[in-house]
Structure 1
Amino acid sequence: MSDRARPEGFFRRRARGYLIFSLSVLVLIAVWQLLAELVRLEIILPTPLSVVRQLGQIVVRPDFLRSVGATVVRGAAGFLVAAAAGFIAGLAVGLSRGVEHALKPLLTLIQATPVMSVILLALIWFRTGGVPVFVAFLMTFPVITLNIARGIREVDPQLVEMGRVYRLPRMVRLRRIYIPSVGPYVLSAFSIALGLTWKVIIAAEVLSQPPFGVGTQLQEARVELETARVFAWTAVAVLLAGASDVLFYLILRASGGGRGRARRAASDTGGDSTAKEVAAS
Structure 2
Amino acid sequence: MREPTVVAEPGLPEAVTIWEVGPRDGLQNESAIVPVEAKAEFVERLVAAGLPVVEATSFVHPKWVPQLADAAELVQRLGPDGRRHPVLVPNERGLQRAIDLGCEHVAIFGSATDTFAQRNLNSSVEEQFAMFEPTVTRARSEGMDVRAYVSMCFGDPWEGDVPVEQVVAVGTRLLDLGASQLSLGDTIGVGTAGHVTALLDAFNAAGVPDDVLAVHFHDTYGQALANAGAALRHGVRTFDSSAGGLGGCPYAESATGNLATEDLVWMLHGLGVGTGVDLEALVATSVWMAEVLGRPSPSRVVAALAG
Measured against the shorter chain, the TM-score band is: under 0.3
Larger Rg over CA atoms: 1
Task: Name the one with the larger strand percent.
Answer: 2
TM-score (structure 1 length as normaliser): 0.25
Task: Name the one with the larger helix percent.
Answer: 1
